Structure 1
Amino acid sequence: MRTAYRTCPFCEAACGLELTIDGDRVTAARGDREHVFSHGFVCPKGATFAQLTDDPDRLRQPLVNGREATWDEAFAAVRAGLRPILEAYGPHALALYLGNPNTHTMSGGLYITPLVKALGSRNVYSASTVDQMPKHVSCGYLFGNPLTIPVPDLDRTDFLLMLGANPWESNGSLATAADFPGRLKAIQKRGGRFVVVDPRRTVTASHADEHLFIRPGTDALLLYGIVHTLFAEDLTDLGSLSAHVTGVAEVRELAADFAPERVAETCGIPAERIRGLARELAAAPTAAVYGRIGTCTVEFGTVTSWLVDVVNILTGNLDRPGGVMFPLAPHLTDEAKRGKGFRTGRWHSRVRGFGEVKGELPVATLADEIETAGDEQVRALITIAGNPVLSTPNSGRLDRALAGLDFMVSVDPYLNETTRHADVVLPPTDATRKGHYDFSFLALAVRNFAAYSPPVLPPDPSTPDECDILARLALILSGQPDADPGLLHDHLLEQALQRVVAAGPSPAASGRSPAVAPGLSAADTGSSPAASDPEAVAPTRRRLDDLRAQVTGDHPAERLLDVALRTGAYGDRFGANPGGLTLRKLIDSPHGIDLGPLQPRIPSALRTPSGKIELCAPPLAGETARLLASLDRRRDDLVLVGRRHLRSNNSWMHNVPALIKGRDRCTLQVNPVDADRTALTDGDSAQVTSRAGSLVVRVEVTDRVMPGVVSLPHGWGHDVPGTRLSVAATNPGVNSNVLTDELVIDPLSGNSVLNGIPVEIKPA
């Protein structure tokens, strides 16, 4: 028996776990009380770490046409399936879908970008366009980088306004905050308040100082009403931001048409309460507005996400303690420099003409690209850690489309509703046998910290590492099917070190560090300036060899991480900053290293062409006109929204007995008023119909959902044939995305509209 420590990989909270290990099995998991960020907090998902890794339904050998095969046979089948399609039809005939578990793995942080480059296709899709793309787009326009996302400084704020967020059950999203509920309680304990705006009285709302029901999809109108009030009552105060913001006058002009009295009836919140929120935000010593999935998965998701930060900026609460701030992850740098800004539409989808955003296309059009004949029709698909058959709009259509592909390969540990269509399934090793570092979530943490978890069990010699799997796929796509994946590993490390050399002989001499970051360092296939100068080749080679000799790590991902940590904001800069971070220092600190509270980072965090916060980008101003016109629309009688549960994470937690036990959670919540007018009672079966589809589900009558709104959870529907999910199949639920409409998206981000879906309900 022994104890090991690691970061929980199941959600965005980045909690520390204490694992009990007996031989080669994890037998128990609990919160790590000494962890610098989570302090012992753990949710039910983390507590089932051992059950997930030991799941008997988990695939441990590749599948080729449904039968177990060796790894060599599987990769030979991948080569035989993909290469003829690429050679006959070109790279755009192949599509890639990335699920959100990729952000929970080091391989996802380091090897996806090289894989995308090797693919060379415009048809890249991910879960981002059913989740968070509006926030990336709004931050791209505001700050010049779609990954520069401010988070609420929960530990110091006096007033928090949350829209469309339920962190009591989600553990937080686009804001990494272990024990989010405890941090909210601490706001109240120190005399502060938090207010929740949501069409459901969620668990979070029930703990709030105030809960306001809002008509789904109208958060942008509420926020514009707040902005209008801030200007009309002379409540704006940018404080230290004044010299760093452009476009305030333009926003004032746009907000003039959104008086609280104009928007109140549509969003369902009284005009005087809208004014009151504006006054409270302006008067609080510190305040933060935080919007999440309910504000992104709607028709005006990008405008809503933008307005969240417009309010934070106008009240002087951006980039100050207690407001919303920019984390500084250990693998990133804080060098001030101008950027090229943010743009979209560098290419367009073939069928519906959707513009690219952040290197990908809206997943709402994937079925179009598969079904529509013609040049560059998608004929093959790679999925990595994703289940789009359950998670994307009009998923019944996508399910049928996948059956018509010429070839499909999936990197996934389960035979689920999506991977059952795959000709080849490549299962990665479980979490106990690979290291863990949160490339994405440390850049969203509400307190700066660093943590690395080495593997707690030795590698399985019969299973390649996930980095090797992705490297072999990249080599197959690039026409090198027989190459050793070690060649790509070495190339990526060489590129990372070339960046260090390009920054100068001593990165610490100028007090700055080179821009070495996950994905970025690994993906840049161009040579450094020093390496391309013939007269500098020999000394450059010596410098590279010297740096390589200092790099530590037993694994390709560890070595890339060591370079990123050494050259990051807190790094040792290869000895130039003694005592700075290295991989070895993190390994020797199993409970993590606290790097202190968030610090102001403007202007260094900005990458806009002007070097300032550009408050009013033309696309956002243009979309405001469409938002204003929506006030005159007829409102649907009944609309559908989703909901979260603490023991679920989309569709990938439903095969663990401890997480699905108890009462049925996949129910249609209906307000008593709507139940009466549709002749439904608690426990009845209701037929729910939208433009996209229809399903039958059990009714739960409750006043926790506002009149005119019904709610169905996301991620269920485990009743299709051909899967190996024995536990999930005993309680399959229904797939809510049978009802969502792939024809309706947020035009600025391409994000699917999963909330506010017009539906009709009646007794089944």
Structure 2
Amino acid sequence: MNNGTHYRTCHLCEAMCGVAIDVRDGRITRIRGDEQDPLSRGHICPKAVALQDLHQDPERLRTPIRRTDKGWQPITWDDAFDLAAQRLDAIRRQHGRNSLGVYLGNPNVHNHGAMIAMTPFLRALGTRNRFSATSNDQLPHMLASLEMFGHQILLPIPDLDHTDVLICIGANPVASNGSLMTVPDIRRRLNALRERGGKLVVIDPRRTETGQRADEFHFIRPGTDALLLMAMVHTLFAENRVEPGPVEPLLRDLELLRLAALPYAPEAVAAHTGLAADSIRGLARQLAGTRKAALYSRMGTSTQAFGGLATWLVYCLNILTGKLDAVGGVRFTQPAIDLVALGALAGQNGHFDTRRSRVRGLPEFSGEYPASTMADEMLTPGDGQIRAFVTVAGNPVLSSPNGRRLEQALEGLEFMVSVDYYLNETSRHADLILPPTTALERSHYDLIFSLFAIRNVAKFSDPLFPPAPDQRHDWQILLELAHRLETRRAGGRLPLRSELGWRAFKRLGPDPLLDLLLRTGPYGTAPGRLRPLVQPAVDLILDLLPERHPLHGLAMLSPVNRRWQALPKGLSLTALRDHPHGVDLGSLQATLPERLFTRDGRIHLAPRRYLRDVERLYSLLATPPTDDLRVIGRRHVRSNNSWLHNSRRLVKGKDRCTLMIHPQDAARLGLQTGDPAQVSSGERHIVLPVEVTGDIMPGVVSIPHGWGHNRPGTEQTVAAAHAGASLNDLLSDEAVDPLSGTSVLNGQPVTVKVWLPARQRQPA
């Protein structure tokens, strides 16, 4: 790689910040924000500088290793692929296809190569026992989008740069840089909102980093968000403030939603939520009475006992107040590579509850079972018990509830493979670890997060460093495993046509497919002089063929579709290489009704599965509030789940893995800042230092997500020196939202007491 400055997109979170990386003699000398990036405009957070640490980490694995009686030993790639395919195939033949299991971590969606190779890999595994980080994260948003708009990744995104009131509930974008709202430099954008006379409102059990910048802040008791949101819906109907605007003709079941909200007057929910009735009405009136406003929710509303209902109600409130598809409200993106339309064209809109998990009967979502039941499926004997497991870029021991039980389950497997470049808390249980290249050694294009950006942008980066001859990209690893598994299933030899296809894919890689998708998308390369011939054909297809016809879908994606004539053209991989800072494709625009994918082309306001779950919400309303301590998670801008803690620059400074507790609760329990506290849930316990703060609601404690690097057998010395405690060692994996199957990571009851070392404890 030549010396100089190279421009890329940081892949460490959803913000898609542009970075400028200076290289000299094959080493990174500086990383800074790319001031010419059209989305981030020079902003980066501390994580971006740690790209250097990840790339140069001496503890990063670079060649495959195998567990032996003498410890971990290197193994060649060819032998590693043979071992993995032979053992997985043998277990599948002996115990059936569902004896294999697979877990996909969220770094996969930051990696277009892994995403493209994942489909043939999962097809080759052939198992129904699939899991991912989705059910520990954003599943309620995807379910609401599927049920209401007809596609699981058609998510409404706040038009943040044009809104005048942003209401955040259960979201902390200042720490997360957005999340399902790709928005670099959120601080500057919130300042701009205030400068144009706007307002930020935050509702949360903790006065978060976002809450500290709010013009109006409300504490709310964990797990009661659905009650608050239903009371806001009630207020809109009771005060005749329902004005959906231009989307009103597209709505179904408005009256059913009104009836569902009848019992939830603000006075009825006030004691449960902790918000006064007048405050609840005020929130509804602000949303309804401000033309450019948006209601935004995230982890706090998703990963709780009523996560499905709460997320659905956020969508409903934006629709009822005329904010859907409106300037300054919430809008659908139109990315350069439109995975929404491509998925619909292939019949892959998403699906839910087509089958149930073997042990606990939890619903699948898009072919995956909830992560909370992984251990059940490994520990419970019977047909379909998981006996071999593959993890790809995931650390579920620290990121899924009841990590200790999952460890027990992993230890009992017959065989396990991890595609990971660290020996971490999960991969230490594997028999074989296959390490991929790092992000700076592969090309990069944001397939997924372009779908969630507050502006339509496109950016491609070639590899910054060439991989060593004995390294493999993750897409190469997945394709090779898939090829060898398919070959074994076929009896040792694939048909010639299939074999040629595999070889071509492995030789060309994912980037030529990216180029094809860019050229044929709405911003793609128009056919020049052939346009007068092509345009009438496209128009005829759109006019004559039904919307569900494949040719209609292809025409909709075409750069010559008359709907997209005002969009910039000429996009291709070559064009993006010629614009290394990226290309600005414009602000979010109105896209309805064409963007809907429901069978009847309408917005389903009151899907029946949500109405049925309202009965469970009413049971909560009918039960007197308790004074149990409830635990919530939290994020920090210097962390990214469990996998950036081996960077010294990110973990230095004061301890961030603390138990936040309100002064009233601390005084009652005899705790002071710095004291070690034992937090318990049933038989599960963790110990961590106390941080007494008025920024958390009385009756609530907070523990950060992603720590707990005190397991033996890992090789991450920096992380181990800043181990912290794992929130997920405390949480029960039995607690899920029964509507969606999402893990309950916020609102579980706990007890807290002063912790004393064993030698200081007095006998009973």
Q: TM-score, normalised by structure 2?
A: 0.90
Q: In 1, Cα distance between the equivalents of 2:503 and 2:328? A: 39
Going from structure 1 to structure 2, the CA distance change for 1:258 and 1:124 (only over 3 Å counts) comes to same
| Alignment match, 1:570 | 523
Going from structure 1 to structure 2, the CA distance change for 1:488 and 1:267 (only over 3 Å counts) comes to farther
The alpha-carbon deviation at position 484 of structure 1 amounts to 11
| Alignment match, 1:141 | 147
Please, which of 387, 391, 399 is the counterpart of residue 391 of structure 1?
399
1:677 and 2:668 are equivalent in the alignment: yes
Going from structure 1 to structure 2, the CA distance change for 1:300 and 1:486 (only over 3 Å counts) comes to farther
Going from structure 1 to structure 2, the CA distance change for 1:606 and 1:55 (only over 3 Å counts) comes to same
Aligned length: 707
Deviates more, 1:571-580 or 1:632-641: 571-580
The alpha-carbon deviation at position 734 of structure 1 amounts to 0.4
| Alignment match, 1:254 | 260
| Alignment match, 2:94 | 88
1:565 partner letter: L
Give a deviation string over 1:655-681, Cα, whole Å, max 9, x none: 000000000000101101101111111
2:647 partner letter: V
Q: In 1, Cα distance between the equivalents of 2:642 and 2:432? A: 21
| Alignment match, 1:514 | none
Give a deviation string over 1:27-72, Cα, whole Å, max 9, x none: 2211001111110000000022111110111001111112111111
Q: In 2, Cα distance between the equivalents of 1:421 and 1:299? A: 31
Equivalent positions of 1:363-402 (< 5 A) are 363-402=371-410
The alpha-carbon deviation at position 76 of structure 1 amounts to 1.8
| Alignment match, 2:598 | 608
1:477 and 2:468 are equivalent in the alignment: no
1:348 and 2:356 are equivalent in the alignment: yes
1:62 and 2:64 are equivalent in the alignment: yes
Q: In 2, Cα distance between the equivalents of 1:105 and 1:334? A: 17
Going from structure 1 to structure 2, the CA distance change for 1:199 and 1:484 (only over 3 Å counts) comes to farther
| Alignment match, 1:172 | 178
Deviates more, 1:740-749 or 1:303-312: 740-749
Please, which of 677, 680, 691 is the counterpart of residue 686 of structure 1?
677
Give a deviation string over 1:382-439, Cα, whole Å, max 9, x none: 0000000001011110011100000000000100000000101000011121000111
Are the equivalent residues in 1 in contact too, given 2:165–2:294 (CA < 8 A)? Answer: yes
1:639 and 2:639 are equivalent in the alignment: no
| Alignment match, 2:646 | 655
Are the equivalent residues in 2 in contact too, given 1:109–1:440 (CA < 8 A)? Answer: no
Q: In 2, Cα distance between the equivalents of 1:484 and 1:106? A: 27
Are the equivalent residues in 1 in contact too, given 2:89–2:488 (CA < 8 A)? Answer: no
Please, which of 226, 230, 238 is the counterpart of residue 224 of structure 1?
230
Q: In 2, Cα distance between the equivalents of 1:712 and 1:696? A: 11
| Alignment match, 2:737 | 746
1:312 and 2:318 are equivalent in the alignment: yes
What is the CA RMSD across the aligned residues, in angstroms? 2.2
Give a deviation string over 1:257-316, Cα, whole Å, max 9, x none: 110000111000000010011111111121100000001000010111111110000000
Equivalent positions of 1:232-631 (< 5 A) are 232-332=238-338, 343-480=351-488, 491=501, 555-572=508-525, 579-631=569-621
1:132 and 2:138 are equivalent in the alignment: yes
Please, which of 32, 38, 58 is the counterpart of residue 30 of structure 1?
32
Please, which of 87, 100, 109 is the counterpart of residue 103 of structure 1?
109
Structure 1 unaligned residues grouped into runs of 5+: 495-521, 523-552
Q: In 2, Cα distance between the equivalents of 1:381 and 1:641? A: 30
Going from structure 1 to structure 2, the CA distance change for 1:284 and 1:692 (only over 3 Å counts) comes to farther
Going from structure 1 to structure 2, the CA distance change for 1:488 and 1:32 (only over 3 Å counts) comes to farther
| Alignment match, 2:541 | none
2:616 partner letter: R
SS in 2 for 1:347: strand
Going from structure 1 to structure 2, the CA distance change for 1:684 and 1:626 (only over 3 Å counts) comes to same
Are the equivalent residues in 1 in contact too, given 2:151–2:340 (CA < 8 A)? Answer: no
The alpha-carbon deviation at position 489 of structure 1 amounts to 10
Deviates more, 1:385-394 or 1:110-119: 110-119
Deviates more, 1:576-585 or 1:254-263: 576-585
| Alignment match, 2:53 | 51
1:698 and 2:689 are equivalent in the alignment: yes
SS in 2 for 1:759: strand
The alpha-carbon deviation at position 691 of structure 1 amounts to 2.5
Give a deviation string over 1:465-503, Cα, whole Å, max 9, x none: 221101012123323498899998974899xxxxxxxxx
1:611 partner letter: G
Deviates more, 1:612-621 or 1:111-120: 111-120
SS in 1 for 2:613: helix
Going from structure 1 to structure 2, the CA distance change for 1:190 and 1:110 (only over 3 Å counts) comes to same
Please, which of 135, 158, 162 is the counterpart of residue 164 of structure 2?
158
SS in 2 for 1:211: strand
| Alignment match, 1:538 | none
2:517 partner letter: A
Q: In 2, Cα distance between the equivalents of 1:122 and 1:33? A: 46
SS in 1 for 2:160: coil
Are the equivalent residues in 1 in contact too, given 2:112–2:445 (CA < 8 A)? Answer: yes
Q: TM-score, normalised by structure 1?
A: 0.90
Are the equivalent residues in 1 in contact too, given 2:43–2:185 (CA < 8 A)? Answer: yes
Q: In 2, Cα distance between the equivalents of 1:464 and 1:416? A: 20
Q: In 1, Cα distance between the equivalents of 2:339 and 2:441? A: 30
| Alignment match, 1:727 | 718
1:324 partner letter: V
1:33 partner letter: E
Going from structure 1 to structure 2, the CA distance change for 1:7 and 1:486 (only over 3 Å counts) comes to farther
Going from structure 1 to structure 2, the CA distance change for 1:89 and 1:378 (only over 3 Å counts) comes to same
The alpha-carbon deviation at position 556 of structure 1 amounts to 1.3
Are the equivalent residues in 1 in contact too, given 2:154–2:340 (CA < 8 A)? Answer: no
Q: In 2, Cα distance between the equivalents of 1:456 and 1:201? A: 40
SS in 1 for 2:360: coil
Please, which of 38, 41, 46 is the counterpart of residue 39 of structure 1?
41
SS in 2 for 1:448: strand
The alpha-carbon deviation at position 243 of structure 1 amounts to 1.0
The alpha-carbon deviation at position 169 of structure 1 amounts to 0.9
SS in 2 for 1:413: coil
Q: In 2, Cα distance between the equivalents of 1:483 and 1:458? A: 33
Give a deviation string over 1:315-343, Cα, whole Å, max 9, x none: 00001110000011111178799989764
Give a deviation string over 1:569-611, Cα, whole Å, max 9, x none: 2112666569421111111110100000001111111111111
The alpha-carbon deviation at position 116 of structure 1 amounts to 1.4
SS in 1 for 2:363: coil
Please, which of 192, 199, 206 is the counterpart of residue 212 of structure 2?
206
SS in 2 for 1:700: strand
Q: In 2, Cα distance between the equivalents of 1:469 and 1:633? A: 52
Going from structure 1 to structure 2, the CA distance change for 1:458 and 1:197 (only over 3 Å counts) comes to same
SS in 2 for 1:289: strand
Going from structure 1 to structure 2, the CA distance change for 1:692 and 1:656 (only over 3 Å counts) comes to same
